[in-house]
Structure 1
Amino acid sequence: MIPQTFIETAGDILGSTEKGLSGSKIASLFAAYAVDYNTDIPYTSYPFTVSTPNKRYALKKNLSSFNPKQQFKIIKELCEHPEIKDLPEVRDLKIKLLTRFKGLNTDIDTVNEILVDETRFWLDDYTKSLEQYNYALEKYKGNIFERNLLDDLRLSLELLVKEILGNSKSLENQLTDIGTFIKRNNGSRELVNMFVKLIDYFTKYQNDYVKHDSQVIEEEVEFILEITSSFMKHFIRMKNRI
Structure 2
Amino acid sequence: MDSHFITYATDILGDTQYGLSGSEIARYSTEFAVKYNVAIPYGTYPFPKSLPNKRTALRSNVEKFAGEQQFQFIFWLCELPQLKEQESIKTLKLRLLTNYGKQYGMINIPNSSIVEETYHWLNGYPKASEKYNEGLTKFEANLFERSSIDDIRLSFELVVKQILKNDKSLENQISEVGSKLKEKDVSPELRNMYVKLMDYFTKYQNTYVKHDDRVNKNEIEYIIELTSLMMKFLIKTLG
- TM interval, shorter chain, is 0.5 to 0.7
Deviations 1:101-157 (A, max 9, x none): xxxxxx996821110000011000100000000000101111236211111011101
Separation (CA, whole Å) in 1 of partners of 2:128 and 2:108: 23
Separation (CA, whole Å) in 1 of partners of 2:120 and 2:107: 22
Larger Rg: 2
What amino acid sits opposite 1:217 in the alignment?
Answer: N
**CA RMSD across the alignment:** 2.2
Matching of residue 122 in structure 1 with residue 121 in structure 2: yes
Which residue does the alignment assign to 1:224?
Answer: 223
Matching of residue 208 in structure 1 with residue 207 in structure 2: yes
Does the 8 Å contact 2:107/2:140 carry over to 1? no
Does the 8 Å contact 2:139/2:145 carry over to 1? no
Deviations 1:163-191 (A, max 9, x none): 00111111011111010010111101011
Unaligned runs of 5+ in 2: 1-35, 37-101
Which residue does the alignment assign to 1:233?
Answer: 232
Separation (CA, whole Å) in 1 of partners of 2:133 and 2:172: 25
Separation (CA, whole Å) in 2 of partners of 1:195 and 1:169: 18
Separation (CA, whole Å) in 2 of partners of 1:218 and 1:128: 26
Q: CA deviation at 1:211?
A: 2.0
What is the TM-score when the length of structure 2 is the normalising length?
A: 0.54
Which residue does the alignment assign to 2:11?
Answer: none
- Match of 2:148, SS state, is helix
Does the 8 Å contact 1:128/1:156 carry over to 2? yes
Deviations 1:199-224 (A, max 9, x none): 11110000011222322110000110
1:32-47 equivalences in 2 (<5 Å): none
Which residue does the alignment assign to 1:173?
Answer: 172
Which residue does the alignment assign to 1:142?
Answer: 141
Does the 8 Å contact 1:128/1:159 carry over to 2? yes
Separation (CA, whole Å) in 1 of partners of 2:200 and 2:194: 10
Does the 8 Å contact 2:161/2:168 carry over to 1? yes
Which residue does the alignment assign to 2:197?
Answer: 198
Which residue does the alignment assign to 2:130?
Answer: 131
- Match of 2:143, SS state, is coil
Q: CA deviation at 1:233?
A: 0.5
- Match of 1:215, SS state, is coil
Deviations 1:29-67 (A, max 9, x none): xxx9xxxxxxxxxxxxxxxxxxxxxxxxxxxxxxxxxxx
What amino acid sits opposite 2:192 in the alignment?
Answer: N
Task: Find runs of 4+ consecutive structure 1 residues off by over 4 angstroms.
Answer: 107-110
Rate the CA distance shift 1:114–1:203 in 2: closer, same or farther, 3 A: same
Q: CA deviation at 1:81?
A: 3.7
What amino acid sits opposite 2:181 in the alignment?
Answer: I
What amino acid sits opposite 1:224 in the alignment?
Answer: I
What amino acid sits opposite 1:202 in the alignment?
Answer: F
1:100-111 equivalences in 2 (<5 Å): 111=110
Q: Identity rate of aligned residues, in percent? A: 50
